[in-house]
Amino acid sequence: MKKLPIGIQTFSKLIENNYLYIDKTKLIYEIIASGGSYYFLSRPRRFGKSLLISTFKEIFSGNRDLFKGLWIYEKLTWEKHPVVHLDFSIIEHAKEIAEFEKSLSYEMDKVAREYGLVLAEIGLKQKFADLTAKLHEKYGKVVLLIDEYDKPIIDHIENLRKANANKEFLAGFYEVIKNIDNHLQFVFITGVSKFTKVSVFSRLNNLEDITHNKDLATICGYTQTELEENFADYLQLLESEYPLERASLLKKIQKWYNGYNWTGGEQRVYNPFGILNLFKSKTFHNYWFGTATPTFLIKLIKEQKIIIEDFENYKAGEEIFDSFDLEKLDPAALLFQTGYLTIKRIKNRLVTFGYPNFEVKESFLVHLLAAFVDKFASQIKPIYLEMLEYLAAEKLTKFQTAVIALFAGIPSQLHLNHESYYHSLCYLILALLGAEIILEENTDKGRIDAVLELEGLVYLIEFKLAKAQEALQQIKDKRYFEKYLQDSRKLILMGVGGFREKKIEVLWEVM
């Protein structure tokens, strides 16, 4: 069995040390052979962008032996080119622009030393142009690979002064690329976001964006076929931990980690980081989400009073893909670009977004609920799991106590006399409980807030800003229960209310 490459982003290290590599070289070849020269790809963090950049580096460095056994091995002439690889995740950008420029200048000098060159101490843009000219003259046309191009901007997204200063600095630096075109063979740029791409690369108008290219949709991430073929031994080991048939186990893995899509097509991919950690630990857990909580996004959602339920089925025009305004950030665009939402479908230029999988949805909702009730995220999971246990056991008085205690913990300054605020809170609780929340258009009898189906039980739940009795009465008046009258399971109607007076009530009635 080959080793799992958790955290390995260097292609040569991966191959030489017998780590598992999912062969993406056919797609890489299609990019190289297409005749283009300038490419841009956006993907969320920990999706294999850096490994992709490293793979390009080895290909253009002519290191054919590393690719023995891979699709591309016999397909190229393996012409060698000098490579300038800039990784902005390791370039100092947190301080003032002078320090940023000094750090980037150091990287230029380091590349020059690798190729036996010496650069004059001149301005950064001139040094960049000088480096590529000298490399071209001595070794041939240059391949330019830029990883995490936007990190100096998105790392400071809460500090507009710093973010804009870094953006303007980068725009000037990247402007050089167009002016040194005669020295360049190939350019590939990656980042998490596209919201800065238009402004940062505004003068580089020949940059081809392959983020939503259907033919290249799976260049990062694992497809279902790749998972089953490349991780067969690890799947067998995982089966020993879970009493499931292979088909059921695969279905569970899909539910937890699959679902990412950037094109609206049928092909969806797994986040590599989650899959590798699953097979290493043999435990279903939130791995990708846990590496970076979206604190800023959650704060933005609260401040803009976003209707959280909309993220289940969020619709927007295709213009959302080019959202880049630092002064007026679109939370949905940022959630998509950073991997918390994904494309479910595209029809008539209307894009429908949703959560990619269970890991992301549950983790995100936990952090949102924690923010709304002013608790730590680690405190939330025990609360809703306990609530679910009470409902499953029909311990409704205890469920009532748990709900009241949760809302009682909200600081008084956070109490808002807006139904949407409490609607979102109730949605978060019910979604975490596993409720089948109906978010589509009203039926002829109205719309029930939630249907929670448990073993032998069906709960119909309605909540109101006013009295809980009104919520319970609405279920009966609208006869939401009719479709379940022939169901053999016990039917329980539940009303939750009292938010306006900050006196939370939970009432129920068994049908």
> pLDDT tens across 203-222, in order?
677 789 999 999 999 999 99
Q: Which pLDDT value is given to residue 415?
A: 47
CATH number at residue 211: 3.40.50
284, 382: one domain: no
Q: Which pLDDT value is given to residue 196?
A: 55
CATH number at residue 463: 3.40.1350
230 with 270: CB under 8 angstroms? no
Under the banding of pLDDT at 50, 70 and 90, the label for residue 448 is confident
- Residue 3 falls within a domain, yes or no? no
* Of 31 and 414, more confident: 31
160, 275: one domain: no
pTM, two decimals, is: 0.91
Report helix, strand or coil for 7.
Answer: coil
What are the helix (H) ranges across 339-418? 358-372, 377-392, 396-408
Under the banding of pLDDT at 50, 70 and 90, the label for residue 183 is very high
Please list, residue by residue across 466-504, b when 16 or more beta carbons sit within 10 angstroms of its beta carbon and e when fewer do.
ebbebbbbbbeebebbeebeeeeeeebbbbbbbbeeeeb
d(CA 59, CA 65): 10
Residue 359 has pLDDT above 50, yes or no: yes
- Residue 6 falls within a domain, yes or no? no
Q: Which pLDDT value is given to residue 142?
A: 98
386, 355: one domain: no
- Residue 446 falls within a domain, yes or no? yes
Neighbours of 268 (CB within 10 A): 22
Residue 10 has pLDDT above 60, yes or no: yes
195, 331: one domain: no
d(CA 337, CA 333): 6
298, 337: one domain: yes
186, 204: one domain: yes
When mean pLDDT is compared across 195-209, 315-329, 412-426, the lowest value belongs to: 412-426
Under the banding of pLDDT at 50, 70 and 90, the label for residue 324 is low
Q: Which pLDDT value is given to residue 204?
A: 74
Last residue of a domain, one of 184, 216, 248: 216
Positions of E strands within 281-349: 314-317, 342-347
Residue 16 has pLDDT above 60, yes or no: yes
Residue 412 has pLDDT above 60, yes or no: no
Closest CA to 308 of 164, 425, 199, 150: 425
The pLDDT tens digits for 81-119 are: 999 999 999 999 988 999 999 999 999 999 999 999 999
d(CA 84, CA 142): 7
304 with 331: CB under 8 angstroms? yes
323, 396: one domain: no
What is the DSSP code string of 417-475?
S-HHHHHHHHHHHHHHHT-B---SS-BTTB--SEEEEETTEEEEEEE-SS-HHHHHHHH
Q: Which pLDDT value is given to residue 89?
A: 93
210, 229: one domain: no
Last residue of a domain, one of 322, 346, 372: 372
18, 51: one domain: yes
Last residue of a domain, one of 154, 184, 216: 216
Domain that holds residue 411: 374-510
- Residue 20 falls within a domain, yes or no? yes
Q: Which pLDDT value is given to residue 441?
A: 36
Q: Which pLDDT value is given to residue 302?
A: 78
351, 477: one domain: no
| Mean pLDDT of the residues in the chain | 90
85, 208: one domain: yes
- Residue 4 falls within a domain, yes or no? no
- Residue 433 falls within a domain, yes or no? yes
Closest CA to 269 of 212, 213, 223: 223
Closest CA to 367 of 288, 292, 298: 298
- Residue 2 falls within a domain, yes or no? no
Structural domains of the chain, count: 3
| CB neighbour list of residue 2: distance below 8 Å, 6 or more residues apart | 18, 19, 20
22, 169: one domain: yes
Neighbours of 148 (CB within 10 A): 22
Measure Cα distances from 505 to 423, 433, 497 in Å: 15, 18, 5
The pLDDT tens digits for 464-492 are: 888 899 989 999 998 888 888 889 999 99
- Residue 382 falls within a domain, yes or no? yes
